[in-house]
Chains A and B, each alone.
Chain A
């Protein structure tokens, strides 16, 4: 890739960001103080609103031309432990909720037993949690456009006319995540809200028919929450993790050289496959 390409790309990015900044200003004019977090970068746009303004934000976006509904889902910001080596350093106790009912209070009690470990549910916010933990880098991250709670609901809207989209986020309460349903603004949200409800336990007020969509009706727990253990992994760690152990620096350098050589080789007999 030449440097000219890179400059051109940067120009494109700048143009795309400027266009989105304009959209952001437009939406902020419509929403006023409701925008509590915002970000424009890499040609994309994020807006964070309070949970109470979720519906108004959706209506404002629809009025601004974002009439195509991409998806709605949730994020659980509790640190996860994909790697067994990292698992010990995290505050997640995988077994704590394994045989518990998905009751938020019970889960909180179970977590409270581990007093030495920082508990998000006690204080309610990540910020408070960090203070309680006494170390700012406790593994909690908040993502683009910020966030103050463990759970976030997020949705993506697109405008086929303007050819750009916006990601909306809202912080939800740790104990009883609740947000207004938008199924009557975007019809497609009805199924997405059912899915988010069964995967995260977010309650969508005003949803006509909040029942399981993928999982069997008697299923207990909210599988996409980070404290819901993936039982197969509890029994046996993912064998693929063997592949990802760090290489010694020398070995890495040798491999980089090999890749470079291979690329030069490819360049030399260019268009080989095209013959």
Chain B
């Protein structure tokens, strides 16, 4: 049932040709405004679609309702203070936002966190991924009209948030990563609790796999909808599960050498050749299960030792430029930090995944039907804070 790029282009071309032939039947275009406040946008994003009948002939995305100017704010903050800012970019996986920024600062300072800190960072990173994508699995169902998965998702996500809270003290904004290490070690008894939570995550994935992916309506509404071919995806800078669902075998956890625990683990990068909404959902579900297995492995292999490298009390980062990107739940997140030897960055470019992921919408929405707009929005999966920064 996979739709190839050629088929899709032929389809769009034939629709355009039909439209030209039936000039006398052509109706006046209607402009449909979705958002800024719409449940499917999960925040304040506005999609303007011009419709010919039920078909989208042109679409535009209006963002910026939540723009907070973090790139300017980083220039007046010190390095340790910036973690509080970047926490709020993708707020469903806040810890994962801190890691690349801290790694960029560490790269410039030429220090490396001790192995135990690297492992705990990676564990919290993967827990953030599970918490984030669990919510996606639920809300994708909700956007397609299935309410049950949302309740399941919130119920099981709670256990992950509890584990994150037990370590960091924060459910949403941990602010736990420090230059050279972490704020604290793991609390007693945490490892066993986390392991049982991981078992529950896998059960949740199995449940949802049956509940949603086996569902005929779900399949009818997602298969072949919103197909993004690999070359277009790469050109738009789509990352994460969105590009892996288009058949690109690329995962920054595996494909680069970072001082984090992923290189020691035995795990698999999931890809899907179809590039449609179903593929994006499928890849994310597999990744959640894979992440829970990774957490199990890391808990078993957790090294002993210090959690903080020796750093000066006042952090001054030497002059230089560093780019560090990681595979965040939403895709590639990176920081380009320009330091001039001061207490804060001279310039910090924040590359967030959702901004690029959403920029493909005008391309992919053209030629689709109104109900599919919601499917495509849901399957591309964005967090508003991650678009607007």
Q: Mark A235-274, 1 if CB is under 8 A from B, else 0.
A: 0001010011011000010011001101100110011111
* Distance (whole angstroms) from the CB of A61 to the closest CB of chain B: 13
Say whether A181 faces chain B, with CB atoms less than 8 Å apart.
no
Interface residues in B219-263 by Cβ distance below 8 A to A read: 231-232, 234-238, 248-250, 255-257
Which of B188, B308, B346, B347 touches A275 (beta carbons < 8 Å)?
B188
Contact assessment for B314 and A247 in the assembled complex, using a CB-CB cutoff below 8 Å: yes
The answer to whether residues A273 and B185 also contact, given A144-B321, A160-B234 and a CB cut-off of 8 A, is yes
The answer to whether residues A271 and B344 also contact, given A69-B237, A70-B334, A188-B237 and a CB cut-off of 8 A, is no
The answer to whether residues A214 and B255 also contact, given A191-B355, A233-B76, A266-B306 and a CB cut-off of 8 A, is no
Contact assessment for B310 and A214 in the assembled complex, using a CB-CB cutoff below 8 Å: no
Tally the A-B contacts, defined by beta carbons under 8 Å.
Answer: 158
Stretch at the interface among B66-74, B153-161, B210-218, B370-378: B66-74
Contact assessment for A224 and B72 in the assembled complex, using a CB-CB cutoff below 8 Å: yes
Stretch at the interface among A75-83, A114-122, A123-131: A75-83
Say whether A16 faces chain B, with CB atoms less than 8 Å apart.
yes
CB contacts (< 8 Å) of B355 on chain A: these are 191
The answer to whether residues A273 and B336 also contact, given A68-B237, A224-B71, A263-B308 and a CB cut-off of 8 A, is no
A233 to B72, CA, bound (A): 11
Contact assessment for A267 and B306 in the assembled complex, using a CB-CB cutoff below 8 Å: yes
The answer to whether residues A266 and B305 also contact, given A69-B356, A82-B342, A160-B250 and a CB cut-off of 8 A, is yes
Bin the interface of chain B by size: 35 or more
Interface residues in A161-196 by Cβ distance below 8 A to B read: 163, 165, 167, 186-188, 190-191
Q: Mark A87-126, 1 if CB is under 8 A from B, else 0.
A: 0000000000000000000000000000000000000000
* Distance (whole angstroms) from the CB of B273 to the closest CB of chain A: 16
Say whether A207 faces chain B, with CB atoms less than 8 Å apart.
no
A54 to B308, CA, bound (A): 43
CB-based nearest A residue for B64: A214
Interface residues in B179-194 by Cβ distance below 8 A to A read: 185-188, 190-191
Contact assessment for B347 and A75 in the assembled complex, using a CB-CB cutoff below 8 Å: yes
A191 to B355, CA, bound (A): 8
CB-based nearest B residue for A212: B64
Contact assessment for A144 and B191 in the assembled complex, using a CB-CB cutoff below 8 Å: no
5 closest Cβ pairs, A-B complex: A270-B304, A273-B186, A214-B64, A188-B237, A160-B250
- Chain B residues within CB distance 8 Å of chain A: 63-64, 67, 69, 71-73, 75-78, 81, 107, 112, 114, 185-188, 190-191, 231-232, 234-238, 248-250, 255-257, 302, 304-310, 312-314, 319-323, 325, 332, 334, 336, 338, 340, 342-344, 346-347, 349, 351, 355-356, 359-360, 363, 388
Given contacts A216-B64, A259-B308, A270-B304, 9 further A-B contacts (CB under 8 A): A42-B107, A69-B234, A83-B343, A141-B319, A143-B321, A187-B360, A214-B63, A230-B72, A267-B305
- Chain A residues within CB distance 8 Å of chain B: 1, 12, 16, 42-44, 46, 67-71, 73, 75-76, 79-80, 82-83, 141, 143-144, 154, 156, 160, 163, 165, 167, 186-188, 190-191, 199, 212-216, 223-224, 230, 233, 238, 240, 243-244, 246-247, 252, 255-256, 259-260, 262-263, 266-267, 270-275
